Amino acid sequence: MTHERRVVLSLAIAQALFQTSSVLLVTVGGLAGQMLAPDTALATLPIACVALGTAVATIPASLLMGRVGRRPGFVLGALLGAGGGALAAFAMLAGSFPLLCIATALVGGYQGFAQFYRFAAAEAASEAFRSRAISLVLAGGVVAALAGPHLGAATKDLIGPAAYAGSFLAVLALGLVSAVVIAATPLPTTPASGDAAEPSRPLPVIMRQPKFVAAVVGAAVGYAVMVLVMTATPLSMVGHHHAVSDAAFVIQWHVLGMFVPSFFTGWLVKRFGLTAMMLTGVGLLLTHVAVAMSGVALANFLSGLVLLGVGWNFLYVGGSTLLTETYRPSERARVQGLNDFLIVGVAAAASFSAGALVDAFGWRGLNLAATPFLAIAALAVVFGSAGGARRAVEAAPR
């Protein structure tokens, strides 16, 4: 096995462990919060704290890894997740809602580091293998879609009277295993020696690149629309008289839709190009909106959420790959940190607003509200493609 493929395989395993923790936390976090919260309206606050922890950690994580390297940073992130799982288990034993929220914020810090696995894979890969490396790492999420909900349910009563404490101990175990996997991965322990010597451009100069705009706007809009709809789906399905088990089934297939395409997205990017793949992603998200507007039967929710997942995958992989073309090695930490901070921030805002939007405008109204943002994403991708082509022509020898 070549070095780049070994790195990608190890990062895909780490991604599977991390995503399993995330899916497990989404599965049990609201239920655990409901048990401890002083007000049932605060039941989902532990899950919201995951997004908050991720947003707070993203830029510091990227800057830290720019100084000490990927491997120490990723190990630290996994240990944060393990510590969050241990603290959450203790919170359930102690009956402390504030401790539970702090614990899930620590797990969010784990996500703040782990979301850079895809960039580490891109950095270890040759240019021809780069998009496939990113997509194959994200394919680790397939394991999470299958294992996360079942692991949460199987460990729920592991510690007698403290429901869900066992589930959080599973988060602890996953974080520790991930730390071991990363420690054994042949990633650089320090940044490349030439990074510090190369001059860096100011962030505003980098952000004015059409490719940067396309990468960030495409990925951020795709992520926000996906999170908005996914968060609202269980509420909407139950509100339209579907069983909770039906909602869980739809979410599981949605997560599979997010990650199964990663086995071939990289090949599609190489075959058809980034612009075509990102615009196809926008088209799939718009198709989901059309399906959602056409009815509220189980088949509508199921097919629409699968389309939503695949569309997210194309935009996220495409945007992540495109971003790697916008910065120099010396600019990597700042640009990647800014990119993921913007994506996570927009997604967190979408998650917080989902309940209010579905309550005010209903399922169809919520989906319809996404269409202007998808149009903006399409325009940004076209703008990025045109701008990149124009600069290539200008730079060509005469």
* Domains of the chain in sequence order: 1-191 (1.20.1250.20), 199-398 (1.20.1250.20)
The three-class DSSP label of residue 1 is coil
DSSP state of 201: -
pLDDT of residue 378: 97
pLDDT of residue 396: 32
pLDDT of residue 43: 75
Contact 322, 119 (CB under 8 A): no
Contact 289, 363 (CB under 8 A): no
Give Cα 16 distance to the centre of its chain. Answer: 12
Structure-model confidence comparison of residues 396 and 388, the more confident one: 388
Mean pLDDT of the chain: 88
Distance CA 114, CA 93 (A): 28
Q: Give the list of residues 6+ apart from residue 120 with CB closer than 8 angstroms, or none.
A: 7, 11, 70, 74, 187
pLDDT of residue 395: 36
Residue 160: count of CB within 10 angstroms of its CB = 9
Average confidence (pLDDT) over 342-360:
83
Q: For residue 224, what are its two tokens?
A: 């926000």
Contact 343, 216 (CB under 8 A): yes
Q: For residue 268, what are its two tokens?
A: 């599609």
pLDDT of residue 188: 64
Q: Over 90: is that where the pLDDT of 48 sits?
A: no
Q: Over 70: is that where the pLDDT of 391 sits?
A: no
Average confidence (pLDDT) over 316-323:
93
Q: Which of 288, 281, 284 is nearest to 304 (CA)?
A: 288
pLDDT of residue 293: 95
Average confidence (pLDDT) over 43-59:
86
Distance CA 274, CA 283 (A): 14
Query: For 193-226, how does the pLDDT look when each residue is reduced to its tens digit (9 = 90+)?
Result: 444 556 889 999 999 999 999 999 999 999 999 9
Query: For 78-102, how does the pLDDT look when each residue is reduced to its tens digit (9 = 90+)?
Result: 999 999 999 999 999 999 999 999 9
φ/ψ (deg, to 5) at 123 = -70, -30
Contact 177, 50 (CB under 8 A): no
Q: Over 90: is that where the pLDDT of 46 sits?
A: no
pLDDT of residue 173: 97
Q: Over 60: is that where the pLDDT of 360 sits?
A: yes
For residue 345, CA distances in Å to 223, 303, 352, 373 come to 10, 28, 11, 15
Cβ-in-10-Å burial (0-12, 13-18, 19+) of 146 comes to middle
Query: For 140-179, how does the pLDDT look when each residue is reduced to its tens digit (9 = 90+)?
Result: 888 888 888 778 778 888 887 888 899 999 999 999 999 9
pLDDT of residue 211: 95
Q: Over 90: is that where the pLDDT of 359 sits?
A: no
339-344 contact pairs (CB < 8 A, 24+): 339/215, 339/216, 339/219, 340/58, 340/62, 340/115, 340/116, 341/55, 341/58, 341/59, 342/216, 342/220, 343/216, 343/219, 343/220, 343/223, 344/51, 344/54, 344/55, 344/58, 344/112, 344/115
pLDDT of residue 1: 66
Distance CA 378, CA 94 (A): 49
